[in-house]
Amino acid sequence: MKLIIQDRSPVPANHRKKVKFLSVFIFIWFLIITARLVELQVLEHKKLKTEVIEQSQDLIKIMPTRGTIFDRNGRILARSLPAASVFFSPVKEESLDSQIENVYQLKKYLNLQDSEIKKIMTSIEKRKRFTWIKRKIPLEVGEKIKNLKLPGIYILEENKRFYPQASLAAHVLGGVNIDDYGLAGVEYYYNSLLRGEEGQQLIMKDARRREFFIETIKETRPGQDIYLSLDSIIQYIAERELGKAVEQFQPNWGTVIISAPSSGEILAMANYPDYDPNYFPPTEKAMVNRAIQHVYEPGSTVKIVTAAAASEAGGISWNSSYDCRQGYVVLGGTIVRDHVRMDILSFPQVFIQSSNVGVIKIAELIGEENLYQTFKAFKFGEKTGIDLPGEEAGIFHPLEKWRKSSLRVAIGYEIAATPLQILRAMNVFATGGYLIKPKVKLEQPRPLHQLIKFGQEPLSEASLVLSQPTAKKLVEQIFSKVVEEGTGQQAWIPGYLMAGKTGTAQKFDPELKAYSNSKHVASFVGFVPADQPIISMIVVIDEPKGSFHYGGQVAAPVFREIARKVLLYLNQPPQRVSEKIVAARSNRSETGVND
């Protein structure tokens, strides 16, 4: 009997074959995919990750908003405003010619120079992922470029430093570079406060490297605002009057510094030549802040220190007289002359008429040691410590290196100082004997009328270098009379008590190896009112051209005009001046006696 077994499987045989075939195919496909994944994720992971990042991401540094700089009254001197920056990042599969053509289309919008285009082309040809085309352009120009929708051309919002008052106080403010780093002035000195902290943006792109969104991965921290001791109005007055003097005398350079003597706060610091920090950096000549970065032999303005040494350290009697009729004196083989031949002069008259002969005779009586110690007490040869970069210390030789002719330091030779050092020395007499550190930064806004007058608040960082009775006597008996009847008459303002000292220094000619008879530095330093000083000021004009070169002729009138306008601005009424002084002043010539 034959046994017949029937196939009772619900799946037909041909279907089972198909299932087996499909299973084998899926298994093989799975093996292929697995192998490929191993290749991509293990063997080539590093390489492919780099390619993906390069194709899809650009990490860009974001500059923070720089702090605003205000004057003492809250007027803006420097601020940061939004600006657009244009950069290039290549699009995948875009030809080099197309990329270059896209850049050329921007030439008329950005006013690109040939040298700039060449630099951009070099970067593109090197296949760099990121190339700046033009930074910190007006926002409206950036919007026009964005609307062009050029492949590879992108717009990034940044900030641009703006100085709304142009060249006003340029040397105090300084300037910044394209990345908003301070390079000069308070922009450099207080860069860490003003700058803030940088952020980062991630620009994500698709496979064709076309931008689709920007993500900020690190926020910026804006910089701090700061207030300066400058008063914009006073700064403008100083710059305008200095400009008039430059036009008249055509000097190499000039500077005016105005301070509040009791606090050391700088109210104005003007320089010629100047520059507009909106177009930083300037020329090398214009860059120098000569108020603190240029040293010169100051001449007779330092006789104020010699007078202090004679009165206090040297024990010279005010009743002494000095024979100056010869007109010159020989000192260590060097002839020292007066600007005009004089007579027998009393101690005060020697300084009022600025007799070099008389001062040298007094210096010989004082002695080198006393003279040296007084100048050291006034800190000549040391920086004032003002919060501005690049300050020079000046030159004041140690006593052991003095020669016989070194006594000429008493009349402002064989010593070199900055204009600020001379002003600080004059402020000693304005404050009753205190040497005060100058400064340009305030902790908070402080209008000038709020300045507490000397004696009503402790002086910060001040040292007593001269007794108050001596300082007061020198002001009343010498420095006030310099303006009333001496070499500084052209600084006189009717109705006000003033104190000051002229200076006219011959410049040393390195080619002749001698002092020039035609090149001078003219200066005047003083304060007003003499009995209760509100402002002090120094004016220095280098190599004035023309008929006049004396400090009393060149610098004193500049002092007068600035001081007169500042006093009006501060609503300071005239003081009562004795008829004797007015008569004495009116009887003298307009040119007066000049030093």
Question: Does residue 498 sit in the same domain as residue 556?
Answer: yes
Tell me whether residue 108 is in a domain.
no
Question: Does residue 371 sit in the same domain as residue 224?
Answer: no
Tell me whether residue 473 is in a domain.
yes
Q: Is the peptide bond before 281 cis (omega within 30 degrees of 0)?
A: yes
Q: What angle do CA 459, 462, 464 make, to 5 degrees?
A: 110
Domain count for the chain, please give it. Answer: 2
CA 406 to chain CA mean position, Å: 34
Is there a contact between 235 and 169 (Cβ–Cβ < 8 Å)?
Answer: yes
Question: Does residue 323 sit in the same domain as residue 435?
Answer: yes
Task: Tell me the CATH number at 571.
Answer: 3.40.710.10
Q: What pLDDT, on a 0 to 100 scale, did the predictor assign at position 28?
A: 79
Question: Does residue 459 sit in the same domain as residue 551?
Answer: yes
Q: What pLDDT, on a 0 to 100 scale, did the predictor assign at position 561?
A: 98
Handedness of CA 80, 84, 87, 91 (dihedral sign): positive
CA atoms within 13 A on the CB side of 256: 32
The 3-state DSSP class for residue 179 equals coil
pTM score = 0.86
Tell me whether residue 593 is in a domain.
no
Question: Does residue 394 sit in the same domain as residue 502?
Answer: yes
Task: Tell me the CATH number at 198.
Answer: 3.90.1310.10
Q: Active-site positions?
A: 300
Tell me whether residue 153 is in a domain.
no
Tell me whether residue 128 is in a domain.
no
Domain housing 188? 58-82+159-228
β-strand partners of 542: 253, 521
Question: Does residue 286 sit in the same domain as residue 336?
Answer: yes
Question: Does residue 540 sit in the same domain as residue 450?
Answer: yes
DSSP secondary structure string, 108-139? Answer: HHHT--HHHHHHHHHHHHTT-S-EEEEEEE-H
Tell me whether residue 578 is in a domain.
yes
Question: Does residue 546 sit in the same domain as residue 484?
Answer: yes
Q: What pLDDT, on a 0 to 100 scale, did the predictor assign at position 32?
A: 77
User: How far is the C-alpha of 522 from the C-alpha of 552, rounded, in Å?
Assistant: 8
Q: What pLDDT, on a 0 to 100 scale, did the predictor assign at position 519?
A: 94
Question: Does residue 299 sit in the same domain as residue 166?
Answer: no
Tens place of pLDDT for every residue, the chain, 595 residues? Answer: 455 545 555 556 666 677 677 777 777 777 777 766 666 566 555 554 555 445 556 677 778 899 999 999 999 999 999 999 998 888 777 788 888 888 888 888 998 888 888 888 888 888 777 889 999 999 999 999 999 988 888 888 889 999 999 999 999 999 999 999 999 999 999 999 999 888 877 766 655 555 555 667 777 889 999 999 999 999 999 999 999 999 999 999 999 999 999 999 999 999 999 999 999 999 999 999 999 999 999 999 999 999 999 998 878 999 999 999 999 999 888 899 998 999 999 999 999 999 999 999 999 999 999 999 999 999 999 999 999 999 999 999 999 999 988 999 999 999 999 999 999 999 999 999 999 999 999 988 888 877 644 444 545 578 999 999 999 999 999 999 999 999 999 999 999 999 999 999 999 988 888 899 899 999 999 999 999 999 999 999 999 998 899 999 999 999 999 999 999 999 988 986 555 455 555 544 444 455 7
Give the end of a domain, one of 202, 228, 254.
228
Give the end of a domain, one of 212, 228, 244.
228
Handedness of CA 71, 73, 75, 81 (dihedral sign): positive
Q: Which helix or strand (DSSP H or E) is residue 146 part of?
A: helix 139-148
User: How far is the C-alpha of 172 from the C-alpha of 268, rounded, in Å?
Assistant: 9
Question: Does residue 239 sit in the same domain as residue 206?
Answer: no
Give the end of a domain, one of 228, 259, 275.
228
Rounded to whole angstroms, what are the CA distances from 94 to 146, 379, 508?
19, 68, 67
Tell me whether residue 497 is in a domain.
yes
β-strand partners of 331: 334
Question: Does residue 185 sit in the same domain as residue 299?
Answer: no
Question: Does residue 455 sit in the same domain as residue 317?
Answer: yes
Tell me whether residue 408 is in a domain.
yes
All residues at 6 or more sequence positions from 319 whose CB lies less than 8 Å from its CB, including other chains? 346, 347
